Structure 1
Amino acid sequence: MGALDGKVAVITGAARGQGRSHAVALARAGAAVIAIDICAQIPSVEYPMATPDDLAETVAQVRGAGGRIIAAEADVRDLGALRTVISDAESQLGSVDIIIANAGIAPIGLPGQDSVTQFNDVIDVNLRGVYNTVKAAVGSLIAKGSGSIVLVSSTQGLKGTGGHGAGGGLGYACAKHALVGMMRSLANWLGPQGIRVNSIHPTGVATPMIQNAAMEGFFAAADPSVFESTKNLLPVPWVQPEDISNAVLYLVSDTGRYVTGVALPVDAGFSAR
């Protein structure tokens, strides 16, 4: 018996990285998965974003873990598209119990980039996209009077060291901070209806979002204080996606049944520095 047998989870940004890891972890615990990703490039993002092939690999890994999955390409900035995808998937898998709003972008703000466009794109994906994800699926949880929501924020939602004045970095820190307020408001609204809401705050995670040529070039050219501001307290440069998935699994399972309204760092001590 799995901890999530009979549950259905919707996960955004599921084509690779943390999203894929969350999908596989929840599938191993017994959940069926609705995996959503844009699978396309947003022009203001300097690193390559996920592709349809990446999403197909998530499907393969979830099925390899014994899970059921329906995957779809959709942009979290498009509420109507999310509603359609989730409704169609629910007709096959059952109604949603778990929402993991994971999709996000991290434009770096390299010289020559339009900082205003980058800022707006990050806010649209990392903040409005999270709102849209919850809005599109929360009705199913309300109807059941139970469920769990995890908003994937960042250590940059707890500290302001990620902005450095650039459009992308500043927008990232702003959006990730805003998710804490969204989480607490949702927790207060939905708690009396039996629904738990938490946010999770990873330090740097070993995924293509941070392990790419654009990010490496940024740090190579930046003032040493920029690199210093991203160091963890524990002597590791980053954590693995599975480390975040383990915490997500705790938050959405009965093991964490009395945990709500919490901003949970999984950050190798970054926030304590």
Structure 2
Amino acid sequence: MLSLEDKIVAITGASGGIGEATARLLARRGAAVVLAARRGERVDAIAQDIREEGGRAAAYVVDVTEAEDLRRLVSSTIDRYGRIDVLVNNAGIAPISPLADLDTAGWSAMIDVNLRGMLNGVAAALPAFRAQGAGHLVSVVSVAGLNGTSPTMAVYAATKNAVRTVHEGLRTESTDGVVRTTAVSPGYIRTDLADSMADPRIREQTREHMAAVGISPAAVARAVAFAIEQPGDVEIGEITVRPTRQA
């Protein structure tokens, strides 16, 4: 089993699914984890579970659409543990629908959470990473950001493609060896992402497909751990994690 004893990792969207699984796995492998999400009671409970199992964990209420929340997450992590080694940008929503439905509120929400939320994380963490002389930005993207799109997913895929583009831009600006970047793109993972889908037909279809094909969030957590535990001169730029049964 890999050891992450010397890592301090903050994770957004950590109240369930991939974020929760990542926090629990990294803590079991020795990292100190800082869980962040809008559902304060939920991240508090997860952090308490981790501490009762002998791990190191803290929790904060964070809305990634608020830049100040991300700055506070980074500063609180540094105040508590002395530094922040990794920020995992995991928060995301998918109120998908056909473009013809004109769900402009849903479009704006995906842009705000999926893209602007990630940029807020970059703005908060990058100065700390530069000041420390090292840091690692990990973002959970999606296979939708790799393969174009399918009906109902145009705006969602656009936000995920944009996140990948930002990651590549940050990578090309960070060849001095200070900042590492990793984009992890999951396929069908059994999470509560469908809860953010307003259309009941699309929501039920997604849940059925996740149940039939999806794999555990722990699979993505292991990919994140693999990227993080690499030595400082090794960057795992992109990882795709999908079920073997997914087309």
- Structure 1 and Structure 2 fold alike (TM over 0.5): yes
| Residue 37, structure 1, aligned to residue 44, structure 2 | no
Number of matched pairs: 246
Within 5 Å, which residues of 2 pair with 1:252-263? 252-254=228-230, 258-260=234-236, 262-263=237-238
Aligned to 1:196: 180
CA distance in 1, matches of 2:8, 2:106: 34
Aligned to 1:10: 10
CA distance in 2, matches of 1:213, 1:115: 11
CA distance in 2, matches of 1:118, 1:12: 20
Q: 1:86 aligns with which of 74, 84, 98?
A: 74
Aligned to 2:130: 142
1:204–1:210: 8 Å Cα contact kept in structure 2?
no
How far 1:6 moved relative to its partner? 2.5
2:95–2:198: 8 Å Cα contact kept in structure 1?
no
How far 1:183 moved relative to its partner? 1.0
Aligned to 2:215: 239
Q: Decide whether aligned partners of structure 1 residues 192 and 256 sit closer, same or farther in structure 2, where only a CA change above 3 A counts.
A: closer
Gaps of 5+ in 1: 40-51
Task: Report the residue type matching 1:123 in the other structure.
Answer: I
4+ residue stretches of structure 1 with deviation over 4 A?
A: 110-114, 211-216
Structure-2-length-normalised TM-score: 0.87
CA distance in 2, matches of 1:187, 1:111: 32
Structure-1-length-normalised TM-score: 0.79
| Residue 159, structure 1, aligned to residue 143, structure 2 | no
Aligned to 1:75: 63
Q: 1:57 aligns with which of 45, 48, 61?
A: 45
1:153–1:202: 8 Å Cα contact kept in structure 2?
yes
Tell me which moved more, 119-128 or 89-98. 89-98
CA distance in 1, matches of 2:175, 2:99: 45
2:94–2:196: 8 Å Cα contact kept in structure 1?
no
Q: Percent identity at matched positions?
A: 29
CA distance in 1, matches of 2:56, 2:177: 28
Root mean square deviation, CA, Å: 3.0
| Residue 132, structure 1, aligned to residue 120, structure 2 | yes
Q: Decide whether aligned partners of structure 1 residues 71 and 31 sit closer, same or farther in structure 2, where only a CA change above 3 A counts.
A: same
How far 1:205 moved relative to its partner? 1.0
CA distance in 2, matches of 1:118, 1:212: 9
Q: Decide whether aligned partners of structure 1 residues 191 and 64 sit closer, same or farther in structure 2, where only a CA change above 3 A counts.
A: farther
Task: Report the residue type matching 2:186 in the other structure.
Answer: P
Q: Decide whether aligned partners of structure 1 residues 143 and 72 sit closer, same or farther in structure 2, where only a CA change above 3 A counts.
A: same
How far 1:7 moved relative to its partner? 1.6
CA distance in 2, matches of 1:19, 1:115: 27
| Residue 172, structure 1, aligned to residue 156, structure 2 | yes
User: Per the alignment, in what secondary structure is the counterpart of residue 240 of structure 2?
Assistant: strand
How far 1:139 moved relative to its partner? 2.0
User: Per the alignment, in what secondary structure is the counterpart of residue 193 of structure 2?
Assistant: coil
Aligned to 2:189: 205
CA distance in 2, matches of 1:124, 1:172: 11
Gaps of 5+ in 2: none
Task: Report the residue type matching 1:267 in the other structure.
Answer: R
1:203–1:270: 8 Å Cα contact kept in structure 2?
no
CA distance in 1, matches of 2:99, 2:170: 38
User: Per the alignment, in what secondary structure is the counterpart of residue 95 of structure 1?
Assistant: coil
Task: Report the residue type matching 2:4 in the other structure.
Answer: L
Deviations 1:181-237 (A, max 9, x none): 1111111222313321010110111111137996773266x7xxxx8xx979xxx61
